[in-house]
């Protein structure tokens, strides 16, 4: 499976990408650097503390480090000038981090003169195009565009190439309890599961349902069914859906955690008296390729 397949399958093309926001900037990994870029010392670049993406997968970062050691950085980072001779990243923080780990002293950059709102928008678009953002990170970024930069939902939808209803549904994820949001950030719950959990109603019911999903390995469809039962009240809800989840044994929990660290993916072990099944979850074909490579090493 190729990463190209993951980019094309089931994905709506973005209406306004980096090329629309930053004239001359290409977004494909194979594009050569534009003529007006220059090599900047890594030490003069700092990350944007407000950038949408806050979580960086270590396994994926290690792979990028290996690629940079072999081929260098093909696509320049996009930065803006700040105090003195320093620059702040607009797009490319993962490459910047990997370049440092790879031992590079300089990286190719493009300087852009943009407002804070434009910089944040560029970072959001780049991450969405690369499918790097977690669903909660994307929802938080959209909220910030609405509240801090006074965008409308329609404007955001146009900029990131999504339907307005998709933007509204993304914002609904912010109604999840904090613990459930963290499960999504940790990739223990998928975006589809998170949307289904919202149907459970109260924070306590949503948290209990989220724990059940992780413990039982429920599909999104089963999660939706259980959420509907819970929302109709305890008389119609199954006992398992409203009660606290029985945690897995310490041995199974430890093995699950070990496998998740090794594979960089969510793992669910279903164990019943020494028999059961092992599930490995992936978000896209690129992530699946990574898991397969690690298993076959």
Rg (the chain; Cα; Å): 21
Helix ranges, 173-284 (H): 178-185, 191-197, 203-216, 220-231, 239-242, 250-263
Q: Give the integer Cα–Cα distance in Å for 135 and 172.
A: 11
Catalytic residue among 4, 19, 70, 93: 93
Catalytic annotation present for 93: yes
DSSP state of 34: P
Among 161, 101, 172, 158, which Cα is nearest to 127's? 161
Crossing angle between the packed helical segments 203-216 and 178-185, to the nearest 10 degrees: 30
- DSSP track, 6-28: HHHTT-PPPSS-HHHHSTT----
Task: Classify 33 as helix, strand or coil.
Answer: coil
User: Which amino acids are annotated catalytic?
Assistant: 93
């Amino acid at each position: 499976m190729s990463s190209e397949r993951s980019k094309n399958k089931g994905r709506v093309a973005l209406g306004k990408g980096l090329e629309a926001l930053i004239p001359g900037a290409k977004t494909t990994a194979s594009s050569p650097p534009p003529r007006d870029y220059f090599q900047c010392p890594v030490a003069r670049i700092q990350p944007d503390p407000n950038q949408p993406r806050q979580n960086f997968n270590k396994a994926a970062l290690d792979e990028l480090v290996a690629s940079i050691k072999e081929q260098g950085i093909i696509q320049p980072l996009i930065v803006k000038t700040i105090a003195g001779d320093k620059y702040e990243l607009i797009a490319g923080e993962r490459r910047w981090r990997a370049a440092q780990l790879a031992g590079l002293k300089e990286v190719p950059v493009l300087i852009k003169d943009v407002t804070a709102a434009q910089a944040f928008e560029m970072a959001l678009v780049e991450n969405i195009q690369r499918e790097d953002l977690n669903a909660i990170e994307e929802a938080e970024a959209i909220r910030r565009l609405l509240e801090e930069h006074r965008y409308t939902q329609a404007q955001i939808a146009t900029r990131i190439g999504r339907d307005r209803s998709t933007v509204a549904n993304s914002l609904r994820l912010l109604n999840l309890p904090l613990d459930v949001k963290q499960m999504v950030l940790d990739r223990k719950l998928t975006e589809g599961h998170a949307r289904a959990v919202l149907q459970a109603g109260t924070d306590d019911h949503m948290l209990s349902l989220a724990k059940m999903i992780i413990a039982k390995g429920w599909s999104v469809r089963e999660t939706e069914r259980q959420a509907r039962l819970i929302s109709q009240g305890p008389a119609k809800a199954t006992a398992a859906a409203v009660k606290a989840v029985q945690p897995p044994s310490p041995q199974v929990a430890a093995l699950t955690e070990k496998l998740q660290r090794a594979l960089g993916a969510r793992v669910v072990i279903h164990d019943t008296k020494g028999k059961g099944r092992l599930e490995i979850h992936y978000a896209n074909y690129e992530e699946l390729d990574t898991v397969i490579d690690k298993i076959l090493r």
